Amino acid sequence: MEFSLIDRIRERTAQGRDDVRLGIGDDAALLAVPPGQELAVAIDTMIEGVHFPRGTAAADIGWKSLAVNLSDLAAMGATPAWALLALTLQNADVEFIDNFATGFAQLAKAYRLALVGGDTTRGALTVSVAVHGFVPPGKALTRAGAQIGDAVLVTGTLGDAAGGLRLVQQNGRGDAQSDYLIERLNRPTPRIAAGLALRERASACIDISDGLLADLGHICEISGVGADVDADLLPRSSALLDLFDDAVSREFALSGGDDYELCFTVPMRHVAAVQADLAKLGCGATRIGRIVEGDRIHVRDRDGQRLEQSRKGWDHFSA
């Protein structure tokens, strides 16, 4: 049965690439890294009830399991190439496998990403995906490099996924705005094109998985700087603002997580050009603050007064 499940996944995710010398079906894949490229590798694990609500559609789980990893490649300015999949299931559910593979393949095909191997086993529903991408030597975006005076920007809108999760927990409302937020939760868009556009322009970059404050905090820690964030500049969708009040939507934007937008820093003189370029890509970029001296992030209101934040973002091992 295990091998028939693997065959079903392979059939639905088939993607031809010349750099895949040997893919699914052997003990290991044989892959060729193109000359003049470095290999960027990332891995994430998703567990039912932790990273996606119980009852999430299998196709959405397939999409999201790949999307969260592609978002890591986007944050590095890397072009996607290959993936490995480890799938743990409670039973050999053929319908689940077919729908999961369909959702996975929908996103993979958009980036010509080839699934080149993996594993299936029995247990609580868990999905681990490892992705591989290419980046020219010395051109990768990293979390280090933010400089005092740099602007802090984010792509897209923030807080939508947290709003979608709240709606799922409350059994939703069934209208277009609710559907939009839940879609943002279940099918995030990896900002691959934005990451490529930010090569040699962003001084630091990270994807927003655990929440803006938590992830910007990683940039600040590694770069040895602090940041001021203007709460009034946080980009929030009309759906989020219509369904939640300002205080709740702001909390979602600051610490909700799961949006998989990019947070990055650029010298102030490059802000307008970067915003114009990312607008052409359809995701846009909003300046939300600046890098400052120190080692803390402060959120400020329109009068410059600090706003205390009780929560910075997701932590797997918090009490």
pLDDT of 18-50, one tens digit each?
889 988 878 898 999 999 999 999 999 999 888
Q: In what order do the strands lie in the sheet with 262-266?
A: 204-207, 262-266, 151-155, 285-292, 226-230, 297-300, 306-307
Compute the mean pLDDT over every residue in the chain, rounded to the nearest whole number. Answer: 91
- pLDDT above 80: residue 4: no
pLDDT of 74-131, one tens digit each?
999 999 999 999 999 988 788 888 999 999 999 999 999 999 988 888 999 999 999 9
pLDDT of 186-221, one tens digit each?
999 999 999 999 999 999 999 999 999 999 999 999
Question: Domain boundaries in the chain?
Answer: 2-135, 151-307
Q: CATH for 151-307?
A: 3.90.650.10
The pLDDT-based confidence of 316 (bands split at 50, 70, 90) is very low
The pLDDT-based confidence of 301 (bands split at 50, 70, 90) is confident
- pLDDT above 90: residue 309: no
Does this model's pTM top 0.75? My answer is yes
pLDDT of 167-188, one tens digit each?
998 886 679 999 999 999 999 9
From the list 257, 305, 261, 255, the residue with the least C-alpha distance to 286 is: 261
What superfamily does domain 2-135 belong to in CATH? Answer: PurM-like, N-terminal domain (3.30.1330.10)
At 317 the pLDDT is 39
Residue partners of 105: CB distance under 8 A and separation at least 6: 12, 13, 15, 62
